[in-house]
Structure formats: C-alpha cells, structure tokens
Structure 1
Amino acid sequence: MTRHLAIPFAVVALLASGASADAATKNGITPLSPKNNTTVGTGATPTFKMKVRGKGQVWVHVCKSKAKDADGVICSDESIGQARKNGRNYEYTPKFFDFPDFWLNSPGTYYWQAHRIDCSTGTDDCKKEGPIRKLKVST
C-alpha cells in the first residue's frame, strides 16, 4: 500500500519543482546571478548572468525602484548595459566608478531586470522583459 502512495507523492513533488523553475523565467529570460536578495559589499562589481531563449539584443537595467514603465521594464537610473553572450548564457558587468554617490558605493536596496528587444511580432511592445530581482549593497 505504501508503494502505491509513493508514486503520487513523487509526481506532485516533481510538478512542484517544475512550477518554481518556470516561475523564474519570463519572456524567455531566466536570471541566474546575482540571485534574488543577494548582498554584495560596497565597491564590489557583480556580473549579471541570465539564460535567454528568443531573439533580440539583451539589456540589463539596475534601479532603486522596482516600478515598471508601460512596457514592463524598470528604470535604468543606476546602470544600463547590453549583455553579451558568453557560452550558453548572457552576461553584463557594469563599469565601476570610484566615487561616493555611485550606486555600488551606496548601501541600499536595488533591483535588476534583463529584457530582450524583439519587434518580430509587431512594434507595440518590442521589450520582452524578464523577472525583477532584488540586490542589496551593504558596507
């Protein structure tokens, strides 16, 4: 009897793990690092990495707010840069500026988001945005 119960539980566990993996992907973009809620020290420069499925250039925005514009993309007040393909993934490392007001020298909470620019389905919304991730800078 317990053997018959083990199979349905295994199927439920497998489905649940697949659902959480799918939730991390949006419009073909899966953020890999820094992971959500990661903390980096001031003066450190993280490399933003993501898996990307689909066409178009890939851009990364970093902002103090997770508010989205009409296209679903956060602002780029702190950093914006084009991610480049490196092996199977895309990567973007922001240029570091050594002055006190630079975001990587300013402790606080920031948000990052990658998006693809793909107008192959029309020009109403060419930005295919990925999920928003939180990043903390601390001393």
Structure 2
Amino acid sequence: MGESIEEAFSETLLVHLVGATSLVCILGFQLLSNYSKGQNADIVTFFVFIFLVFLVLYAHCVVGESLVTESHKVCEAYYDCKWYEMPNNIAKCLILCMARSQKPLGLTAGKFGTFCLSTLTDVVKTAMAYLSVLRSFLAV
C-alpha cells in the first residue's frame, strides 16, 4: 500500500516541488522589482500568495515527515517484541517484516528525494539562490 501511494503521488509532488521553488523565486523577484520602483500596493498580495505556496508545501512536508517517523516506529515495534521466543514460523514472518521495515515509507518527489521538513528549507535555499542569480543577470 505504501509503494502504491508513493507511485501515485511521486510525479505530482515533483511538479509541486519544482513549481513552488519557481514561484517563490519569481514572486520574490517581482516583489523586489516593484519595491524598488516604489509600488507598495501589491506587497500584501505577494506575501499572501507566497504564504499560501509555503502552506501547501509545508502540509506535504509534514505528512511526509510523519510517514517516515511512523515507519521507523513500526520497525522498532517489531524489534521490541520478543520474536526470538516465538515459534519458528511466526518468528520467520516477523523477521521478514523487520527486514521490510528497514526501508522507511514516505512521500517522494519523483523518486529523487523524500518529502520531510528539511525539504522545506531546501526549497527556500534553492529559491533564494535562483533569485540571487536572476538579480545578478538582470542587474547587468
């Protein structure tokens, strides 16, 4: 079930990740260019839109982080039960379950990276780096 969820959302989350990074970069550039021209009327609109982009991205990151955390808890729960005192057929099944739980479940972005809270900071860092490069190209 976890693998089918990952397959279903993988491409969509990759597009969302790239889109959110691009949107934050472009909106930041527009905000800086409008502010330098003295047009302060649209600042609230820009901040609301950037906030909504981050809110949706944060929701996906929290869900991905909780999936990874719960997956680690399942692995620990299998190990903490006294599987070594159980009958052989049940112990073998539990050992297989422990082996499968070593690879944590989570939401991935196009099978490149896992959605977690560090992904949110990576999006901000990447968007600001692109914004810096964009400003340096257009300033010349």
The structure showing larger relative contact order (alpha-carbon pairs under 8 Å, at least 6 residues apart) is 2
What's the TM-score once normalised by structure 2's chain length?
Answer: 0.25
Which is helix-richer, 1 or 2? 2
What's the TM-score once normalised by structure 1's chain length?
Answer: 0.25
Which is strand-richer, 1 or 2? 1
